[in-house]
Amino acid sequence: MSSSSPSSRRAFLRTLGQLGLLGGPVAAARPAFTLGLAGLGAMAAQSSSAAQLDRPYRALVCLFMNGGNDAHNWLVPLDSAEHAAYTRARGDLALPASALLEIASRSQQAGRRFGLARELQPLSTWYGRGRCAFVANVGPLSQPTTLADVQAGRGLPAKLYSHNDQQATWQSLQPEGIARIGWGGRMADLLASANQNTVLTTISAAGQAIFLNGSGVQPYQIDPEGLVDVRALQSGAWLHGSAGAQARLEALLRSNGSTDLQAEHARVTRRALDTAAQLRGALAGTPELPLGAVTLTDGSRLDLAKDPLARQLRMVARLIAAAPALGLRRQVFMVSIGGFDTHAQQAARHPLLGARVAHAVDAFLNGLQGLGRLDDVLLFSASDFGRTLTSNGSGSDHGWGGHHFVAGGGIRGGDILGRFPTVALGTSTDVGSGRLLPTTSLTEYAASLGRWMGLSPSELLTVLPGLERFATAGPDLGGG
């Protein structure tokens, strides 16, 4: 009998966890693929005008910045009086006008001057090419809301300023504990019928993501480097030091069992294993996005090949390249980056975070352009919340509205969309300590993205409950 080591037992448990056969912490760890019975077993092809394929392929990519990004220092008013008000409000956090990259603006901000933080230079370049736009002062609202409503506590979103709740709200329009289905997943429910393999309609390179959960679709999880091989199921593999154990595991996984639940589990498992094999084969034929080192504005070097966000986006680009071989025509992805809760040492930490985002997105967009897919993919930013205009002496605290960006997709770029707020204290959008009342609701922002994906007005109302309360269905991103 072969002896077994603690490491081989741990490998065995990890394998079972990847296949969803264990409860508890092992099963909760990020697997190579998701085996949700409710998701895959109840997958339903739903009719949708978005699935009628006005374009051969479209993909939406959510870039979530965990912690709450201080975008007040990403997009800054440059007109003399407005920059002076910004400086008074921000105190030691304020960026001098000389440290900003001036960008043009049209639409509602026509005639006004704005600047981007220097570390966002790659985004500035795409903005100048018309491939990137900013959406001003976005945040969750239950309905059109005034300062008087806030002061009266009338009709406000639940649990503002809480990380977990606002991450859930941004991804699902509901706070933690209530959130089960994300608006990205609800979009995907309507889009899945366009795909030959509906399992791959939503894909997360960022672990578990409420954003991608649908009523029918469930997110397929993948590592930045690809699928994690379940070695015990590969031809000729041994498991736990025993060829017999490997054979028994495979037989167990493929057995229908004696109950309906066991039969359904086996069917779902077989489908997941088959999908993994198809995906592995398709990825083998895709080019790998080159990631090199870049020099930042402070003279330091950033090695994108070692950067988690850049690697996640590289994998998304490969998955997009593999889409035709897999019969995929509509997809929703999620990637993430952490570290944005800048209560302390913001001046030192925040510029590097911005540089990592900007250079990772730049590499991704260049990769899509090389694949001929730049017009088919739209990346958008999201975060827990904006931050306070006021400084706490070392950083900023939890806020509400914040600026976001969209890039790619043949959009109406080179513009700041939505209404840019007055960046000052004591205004009608300052609800306290420089927390800005959003001027574009998250619901409207999501509607703009859904419209780009091809959803009809009636479908948007299904995907985004409460959209009917707002006068507009969000800024026009173009790219239709």
Q: Where are the alpha helices (DSSP H) in 91-235?
A: 121-128, 147-152, 163-172, 183-191
Which residue segment(s) compose the domain that 218 sits in? 31-232+294-469
Residues of the chain whose pLDDT is less than 70?
Answer: 1-54, 228-247, 249-250, 253-254, 256-257, 480
Q: Residue 4, Cβ neighbours under 10 Å: how many?
A: 14
Residue 419 lies in a domain: yes
pLDDT attached to residue 23: 34
> Is residue 478 assigned to a domain?
no
pLDDT of residue 239: 54
**Does residue 358 form part of some domain?**
yes
265 found inside a domain: no
Query: Could you identify the residue written with the tokens 């198809």?
Result: 278
Look at residue 263 and tell me if it is in a domain. no
pLDDT at 399: 99
* Token digits of residue 349: 């930490």
Residue 2 included in any domain: no
Angle of the 260-284 helix axis to the 308-326 helix axis, nearest 10: 100
Could you give the CA distance from residue 334 to residue 210 in angstroms, rounded to a whole number?
10
Burial of 445 (0-12, 13-18, 19+ CB in 10 A): buried
Tell me which DSSP letter residue 419 carries.
Answer: P
Domain membership flag for residue 97 = yes
Q: What is the DSSP letter of 470?
A: S
Taking CB atoms within 8 Å and a gap of at least 24, the contacts of 91-98 are 91/390, 91/391, 92/347, 92/391, 92/393, 93/346, 93/347, 93/391, 93/395, 93/396
What residue type is assigned to position 270 of the chain? R
Number of independent structural domains in the chain: 1
The amino acid at residue 169 is T
Bridge partners for 105 per DSSP: none
How far apart, in Å, are the Cα atoms of 368 and each of 124, 194, 267, 269, 361?
A: 18, 22, 35, 33, 10
Q: In which element (H, E) is residue 377 found?
A: strand 377-383
Residue 23 lies in a domain: no
What's the whole-model pTM score? 0.87
3-state secondary structure of 100: strand
Residue 35 class from Cβ within 10 Å (0-12 exposed, 13-18 middle, 19+ buried)?
buried
pLDDT value of position 242? 62
Provide the residue count of the chain: 480
CATH assignment of the domain containing 199 = 3.40.720
